[in-house]
Amino acid sequence: QKEVEQDPGPLSVPEGAIVSLNCTYSNSAFQYFMWYRQYSRKGPELLMYTYSSGNKEDGRFTAQVDKSSKYISLFIRDSQPSDSATYLCAMSDSSASKIIFGSGTRLSIRP
Amino acid sequence: DVKVTQSSRYLVKRTGEKVFLECVQDMDHENMFWYRQDPGLGLRLIYFSYDVKMKEKGDIPEGYSVSREKKERFSLILESASTNQTSMYLCASALLNYNEQFFGPGTRLTVL
């Protein structure tokens, strides 16, 4: 079993929809949770960074962590075609000495 | 802005060739990383370096070596390329916090 599981998609939604991207994990030691966005033919870039449980909002993006269920989510409100990318969840333990990445979900926003 | 550059975007090599992939960062970051990215497998850490001349194995170091002679430059070496090393190779750097990594654009390597 992988430490981090992420549905690869592809996920296709119409412009303006609310998007929900999710990851599950098995290691209860994970404390830091990240979402990276990767456009086609580019490297990943850090989008959201949270510590422990709870929500964090940044513009149209909300990251949610439920440690009791070992489940994290990224919500995108008012989705735009420019949000079309692969989204990778990532997480690390309290030492933050190593990141474990999910395999990524490919998202397409239809105009 | 942090900039991480990789020497080639696309590379085609033959089995058995020695391959050098170079990565340069311009923000004086201590830490640098090499990953490979394959469909369904995500990013897997090959090697990382936390200082000049220092290196640590990641999850899949077999068949690879690295070199960090200068702080800004981290090289990945495939001593004898094999077809199963066909992949996208991504370099990243980080200052102190490993969770916040800055990635280069990647090198797509094909080994024939």
Q: How do residues B9-31 score in pLDDT, each as one tens digit?
A: 999 999 999 999 999 999 899 99
A44 with B43: Cβ contact below 8 A: yes
Q: Which pLDDT belongs to residue A9?
A: 85
Smallest Cβ–Cβ distance between B98 and the set A8, A41, A98 belongs to A98
The C-alpha atoms of residue A46 and residue A34 are separated, in whole angstroms, by 7
Q: How do residues A48-97 score in pLDDT, each as one tens digit?
A: 999 888 899 999 999 999 999 999 999 999 999 999 999 999 999 887 77
Say if B105 is an interface residue toward chain A (CB within 8 Å).
yes
Q: Which of B24, B43, B60, B96 to mutate to test the interface with A (most CBs of A within 10 A)?
A: B43
Q: Which residue of B has its CA nearest to A8?
A: B40
Residue A83 phi, psi dihedral angles, 5° rounding: -85, -5
Smallest Cβ–Cβ distance between A92 and the set B4, B98, B104 belongs to B98
Residues of chain B with confidence (pLDDT) below 70: 1-2
Nearest to A19 by CA among A81, A67, A102: A81
The C-alpha atoms of residue B14 and residue B46 are separated, in whole angstroms, by 21
